[in-house]
Structure 1
């Protein structure tokens, strides 16, 4: 069984409450779930949010729309993922994040099929990025997720769920799903206000005529409106993960304080 877990929280530092911002009249989280429900190779989808009061809104939204919701640790996201998954007894777990309302169901299926065909422990299209930021997919064997949950000690490994696995290619069989063209300079994730402005314009242009619009449709729109392609590219990819890695590093001692 393949379980997809969509992590979501209200307490984003750069754009608080972003997952419930309205996209064509519906919360961004619902728009993403609408797309994820079209993935053929996912057997079950659930939202994993925190037990913090601020995330009551996410749970209430899920209840209103009959979406499975698990609540757990805010900062130890690896524990949240493991606890969300363990009662479902999955064979494989897909990690998705709720700041990606342009998630491409066809691409997610391709990554899953690549992973299964290769017999990998873990596969992703994001560790060696060639797709737009915001189309990230990670999948691993549940047994590997459980190993990470038991052994991972670094803060970045607990916060970002999968690093314990993909940082150890000598221990785990890692697969990298690459695009034929490097589009990693494009930013389709939502971390900043301008990110949301871009996504809103893409939805307004494409969704009314074709709710199933996919990556090729977005690329055609950007070719027709090149100002959108550079709308929000001033931000570094994976800024949050890079900050977490920096926080892992031991701090130099100050001789003056000794």
Structure 2
């Protein structure tokens, strides 16, 4: 029996087979979960191609987390596959315009680009969770992905600010949903060679930083360690953990110079 046996899990943000979300779907299904994947707009086709490679191909629904109508329709869409119960959400959604909000352009970025980054990357964790909350019983779990925003990073710029907002959002979800028995946590992953990372100008330098400083070492081509942590947080093995940010980064966060 797997640690997610019989649980119903929504996984957002699958793009390519290299994505952390894709690895989560694969591992979650092997651990007994029923999984539905969501994507939006131009991401739907690549998500469908990616999940078609899985041993069990999960249903794919379109959900634009910035569209109130999509969010309002979410419970009905999920009920077609899960009935009336959702046990977990994986929030793996982020976007900032690489032309205006990333790559060293922090001081010149306009509000439109900033507001988009914060809406898609941070506020969506609250809006997605609240859209699905009527289906979530006690013991449910929401898990998001961040790139530790307690410090600044080269080239990360307004995505770093959006991730800081995401980290705060998770803590407030933990505060307000805790009385209902719903947990909210984040995994702070090291740099993984995903489509999102490749869109950040200069992000390849992160691999050099991790190669030099991570005590356990770090393989940027391997999404599995981060995905395993997400699956563990979705399970019943962390029943009293909420508002946490779990680092899966080879230990780099613990080192100084």
| Shorter-chain TM band | 0.3 to 0.5
| Higher gyration radius (CA) | 1
What's the TM-score once normalised by structure 1's chain length? 0.39
What's the TM-score once normalised by structure 2's chain length? 0.39
